[in-house]
Amino acid sequence: MYSLRTQRLMTGNEAVAYAVKQADVDFIAAYPITPQTIIVERLSEYVASGEINAEFVPVESEHSALSACIGASLSGARVFTSSSAQGLALMHEVMYIASGLRCPIVMAVANRALSAPLNIHGDHSDIMGSRDSGWVQIFCENPQEVYDYTIQAFRLAEHPDVLLPVTVNLDGFTVSHSSEPVAVLEDSVVKEYLPRHERPRLDYYSPASFGVFALPTHYFEFKVEQEKALRKAGDVFNEVAAAYPDEAGRLVKLDKVNSDGRIALVCMGGTTGTLRHVLKQSASREFSLISLKLFTPFPSKEILEALSDAEGVVVMDRATSPGAPLPPLASNIVASLYEAGINIPVLSVVYGLGGREPTLRLIREMLEKAKERLRTVKVRVNRMYLGYRGEER
């Protein structure tokens, strides 16, 4: 395991920056916002010391950061930026433009709660607010995954059959600021893994147009072709992972633990590690754990295979969708089950909003309640707010 590597002690943010350095990027747009600021701080140090030969552009806002990335990407550059929370919300308009223009930008998102009320701690509400913007979305459980998945994100984004932007998501503070040993590849190995591809770009000698005005006669076709490319990214995903030089760090769409458990837990991000610990300490084998890494394009086929033997499903969302029937991840799981004609009970659990971390005790209590509710409640989808201090309705 990790035989080709050396160990470095890193936070999740530092793991992003180190991976971006090794990816030999050409352009970095930087604007600080907690909890991602350390990413661009480290990158500025790499640029200042000559460890990266890149244009480092400190802009006046996150909107400008992503706009600058689009210009650089259309010129053929390898491009990176990062953001969080309100900064990502300010980018929202430009995220649609980046995907619509087929710009293979990689952006790290240190996930953080959206205001109001003001909160700087971690949940997934920021990226879920832009889940339909046409970006590939990858979620990381720990700094090791952050490092490996950031490198692979560049190859996925720049693949000739994809050419779409990618977000690498890491939970604010619990992953972005937590240190652990990270096994890193040699620079030369990463460079060989990330070849440069020719792609359509702005060129003085071969003029081309990007972002042209599209009337109703053509806009529909643009959007359908963009969606096809995003779905194609799900197929290319496996190819990108298979080529990664160390099998231990390869991208997966999902990871399943305790495959014989009759109740499946589905979770994304850092809390999955806590669930792993609880299940490891428990003598019970009633629960399996599905750690979902790829959220968009949603891997329905793989999810259904992982749930094939389940008698019930607990879906854990670190975000809400106010006014919607279900929060984002639960909505996708239920839709996948419905489309396949599978009728098993689902417990939708919203947890961790505003950085309220689920304790080991809370998770153990949730698992006991889940067994009871999935067995006795006569509705297909039940709901729970884990750690909520008000009265449940």
- Could you read off the pLDDT of 138-170 as tens digits, one per residue? 999 999 999 999 999 999 999 999 999 999 999
* The two structure tokens encoding residue 14: 């530092």
| Lowest mean pLDDT, pick from 159-163, 200-204, 270-274, 374-378 | 374-378
Alpha-carbon gap, residue 318 to 242, rounded angstroms: 30
Residue 115 has pLDDT above 90, yes or no: yes
Say what the pLDDT of residue 393 is: 55
Task: Kindly report which listed range (1-10, 67-76, 250-259) carries the lowest average pLDDT score.
Answer: 1-10
How far, in Å, are 40, 68, 169, 288, 296 from residue 56 at the CA level? Answer: 9, 11, 22, 45, 29
Q: Which amino acid is at 301?
A: K
CA distance 383 to 361: 19
pLDDT at 380 over 90: no
Could you tell me where the beta strands, DSSP code E, fall in 279-342?
287-292, 294-296, 312-317
What is the number of other CB atoms lying within 10 angstroms of the CB of residue 118?
Answer: 10
Both tokens of residue 149?
Answer: 């998945």
pLDDT per residue over 93-107, tens digit each? 999 999 999 999 999
Amino acid at 341: G
> H or E element: which one contains 48?
helix 37-48
For residue 93, the model assigns a pLDDT of 97
CATH assignment of 254-385?
3.40.50.920
**What is the per-residue pLDDT for 208?**
86
Q: Which residues of 322-352 are buried (b: 16+ CB within 10 A; e: fewer)?
A: eeeebbbbbbbbbebbeeeeeeebbbbbbbb
Structural domain boundaries in the chain: 6-249, 254-385
* Domain 6-249 falls under CATH 3.40.50.970: yes
Q: For 33-84, write each residue's pLDDT tens digit.
A: 999 999 999 999 999 999 999 999 999 999 999 999 999 999 999 999 999 9
Q: How far is Cα of residue 200 from the mean position of the Cα atoms in its chain?
A: 26
- pLDDT of 181 above 90: yes
DSSP string over 69-129? HHHHHHTT--EEEEE-HHHHHHHHHHHHHHHHTT---EEEEEE-PPSSSP--S--SHHHHT
SS3 214: coil
Residues whose CB falls within 8 Å of the CB of residue 19, separated by 6 or more in sequence, listed in order: 146, 147, 148, 150, 151, 190
The mean pLDDT value for 207-215 works out to: 91
| Pairing mode, strands 254-257 and 55-58 | unpaired
CATH topology agreement for domains 6-249 and 254-385: yes
